[in-house]
Amino acid sequence: MKHHKEVDTIVAQAKAEHRCVYGTTKAHRSALARRAQALELRRISPNMYVVPEYWSSLRPDERTRHMARTAHLKHPNWVFAGITAAAIHGLEHQWRLHDGSITIITASQGPRSSSSQVKRIFAPNCIPEYVNGLPVTSKARTVVDCGLSTEFRFALPIINSALRKGVTVADIFDICGTMHRDCTPIFRLLHYANPECENGGESLALATIIEGGLMIPELQQEIIDPQTGSLYRVDYLWRLPTGRIVVGEFDGYEKYVNPDMNNRSGIRGAVHAEKERETGLYRAKVDAIVRFTYEDAMARHPLISKLRAAGIPNARSIMVPATSAG
């Protein structure tokens, strides 16, 4: 296929600017459409194209940021919101929330409705922030929009991440106070939110535990090995009414392969350190250690089953003993 040199240039420029390709003239748009027909480019939205191999190499959140950068050039007045804003702010969330669309704020409830490529949230008088040159809703507003449009266990990682980044509960309440919507889902999220969750995976697991009706654990608790004096911080800790102590450990593959997380000792060294850690926890009177993965949390049942097998009770079954009258 004969290449249009100007189109070659705008394709290279788009990649350098971490965005998608779009045509500003009829000739460019026609040339891009021909390349898409020849499968040299992939059309992901009207007048928005990507190089397939490059696109496949990107994480879902980065694909959304590419689309937002492109949309901003085409529509400078758009303010990004929802999951798009979460990605731009760098709030931790599950990648499955990206469905190939972008979300923007609209100031009027006019005839223009959301589409598969552009979703709209009604928010009059929304004052945008600018993150890396992109107009976006504030972190607090982003939390509220995501919490009202996303199921609980996927919204909890977003609010926990925002709290770690300096958003306050008061900030979120202030946003709710300006809205003419039922913010009960946000109040539930605030009730369970805990910035002690160190990443989105840990937050997802906590939300899955809560939705599963199990006793809620303490987070990031420190336990000292009485023999060596080593201090271990565990992801989840249950002190059961029976006196048993159960530890939950969220297993991410990164700690085995990331040299900054395994003291550059490699996989063998990381596995050895993990065994030493478990031995130390048992010496500290931990009765059971339950290990689970991101996949376990996503699938729900494997995580809940592991915890039930370790004796974690339902939250509603934990009764506080009544005190006798004096």
312 domain residue, yes or no: yes
Distances (CA, A) of 135 to 44, 95, 115, 299: 22, 22, 21, 35
Q: Which of 195, 229, 246 is the last residue of a domain?
A: 195
Q: Tell me the two tokens of residue 321.
A: 């003993």
HEC letters along 87-107: HHHCCCCCHHHCCCCEEEEEC
- Beta-carbon contacts of residue 148 (< 8 Å; ≥ 6 apart): 181, 183, 185, 186
Query: Residue 256: what pLDDT?
Result: 39
> Which residues sit opposite 106 in a β-bridge?
122
With CA atoms as reference, report the closest residue to 129 among 167, 159, 186.
Answer: 167
Are 118 and 236 part of one and the same domain? no
Number of structural domains in the chain: 3
Kindly report, residue by residue over 35-55, the tens digit of the pLDDT: 999 999 999 999 999 999 999
The torsion angles phi and psi of 315, rounded to 5 degrees, stand at -60, -40
Question: Considering 195, 223, 250, which residue would you say is the last residue of a domain?
Answer: 195
Does 36 lie in the same domain as 139? no
73-123 pLDDT tens trace: 999 999 999 999 999 999 999 999 999 999 999 987 655 555 678 999 998
**pLDDT tens for residues 9-31?**
999 999 999 999 999 999 999 99
Residues 68, 158, single domain; the answer is: yes
Judge if 148 and 224 occupy the same domain. no
Is pTM beyond 0.85 here? yes
Q: How far apart are CA 295 and CA 265, in angstroms?
A: 26
- What range does the domain containing 116 cover? 58-195
